[in-house]
Amino acid sequence: MDEFQNQNACVFAKVMDFSMKENQLVYISNVMTCIFNALFAVPAIVGNVLVIMAIWRTQLKRSPSNILLSTLAFADLQVGLIVQTTFVCHKMAEIFRAAELSCYARFVNIVFGYSTTAVSLLTLTAIAIERFLALHLHLRYKEVITKRRILTAACSFWVIGLATTSLYFIQRSVFGAIVISSELFSIVITSVAYIKIYKIVRRHAREIQSQRLVSVDPNAPQLELNMKKYQRSTFTMVIVFMLSFVCYVPYSGVMVAKLKYGFTADVKVAIDIFSTVVCINSSLNPLIYCWRMKEVRQAVWAVVKRDTAVTPGQIGQSAMSFAPLPRMRYGSGSKSVAHCTSLRK
């Protein structure tokens, strides 16, 4: 029997979606998704390597929030380095009828694909929570949100991602339920956090404006500047979250369709297309960081130029970093109001 038809050549065929059946639509899909994944793997690798190097070469790494940012960049790096590479290998093997190679590449693609997706979603949720706590905890921020705790959380994300992915090969229905519920949980928690941030920022903006009208406070201009920095950095992560949401939701919809209609040729094509869209997201994130975050952009540029003369202090802290601000008084005899934690320039 032709190896192309003999799926038993794949030892994992019974525990994952694996089909060598092909028609014209599947063939065109294989070729096009191969091209797109091969093209976008390069910026995903280069862009995220530069972001990681930029953060860890300078004092940007001192900020817990930037540790989360580098965790997200590392997950995106694995997408370009492993997920998209194995996807191309898997599809090329399908085109050239190499069933065993296609199977093994598919296996690696599934393991790292679902794991990195889990890490990305957990990290985006953690960033939203960290953004909220930066305002909510005030002076206790640095005491509660430490680098050690953030690093522990980042490592746990990978453990959770790999453990969840293992269920794909053990109990597919449980895996599907966990994936859908986790996505909903991430969307709800992240959305609630950013809505609360929006309300707090609006309130603080009104307080700063009132402070400027009631009395002349030398700290008011700096407070306003720091609040604008916080707003910009937080809105940057909102953009990243929304982009991820737009990329992930269609793929989740296709997975639901697969549960209803089975692993048909049309479903297979849709999965390939929308999984490619999810992977392209990893190429776009570094561009957003450099576009929206001045300190990250400067640090990346220093890495590109191989500017060994640039010291950590010359870059400055990222717009994701926080420092406590003094308490403010609003008018004579009024009670002091603890203002938000803010950013060092």
Give me the pLDDT at residue 37, please.
97
pLDDT of residue 85: 96
| Whether the Cβ atoms of residue 272 and residue 30 lie closer than 8 Å to each other | yes
Which residue type, as a one-letter code, is found at position 217?
D
> For 198-219, what is each residue's pLDDT tens digit?
888 888 777 766 766 665 555 5
Residue 162 has pLDDT above 70, yes or no: yes
Q: What is the per-residue pLDDT for 219? A: 55
What percentage of the chain exceeds 90 in pLDDT?
A: 40
Tokens of 294: 């001045």
**For residue range 91-142, what is the model confidence (pLDDT) as tens digits?**
998 888 888 888 889 999 999 999 999 999 999 999 999 999 988 887 788 8
pLDDT score at 102: 86
The pair of structure tokens assigned to 62 is 């001192």
Two tokens, residue 243: 């982009």
Residue 180 tokens, joined: 């859908």
Measure the CA–CA gap between 172 and 167, rounded to whole angstroms.
6
> What confidence tens digit (pLDDT) does each residue in 209-265 have?
676 666 555 555 555 666 677 778 888 889 999 999 999 889 888 888 887 888 788
φ, ψ of residue 178 to 5 degrees: the values are: -65, -40
What are the start-end ranges of the H helices in the chain? 24-57, 64-78, 84-95, 99-136, 141-144, 147-170, 172-214, 220-261, 265-292, 294-304, 312-315
**Is the model's pLDDT at 326 over the cut of 80?**
no
pLDDT of residue 319: 45
Token pair 């028609």 is at which residue?
A: 23
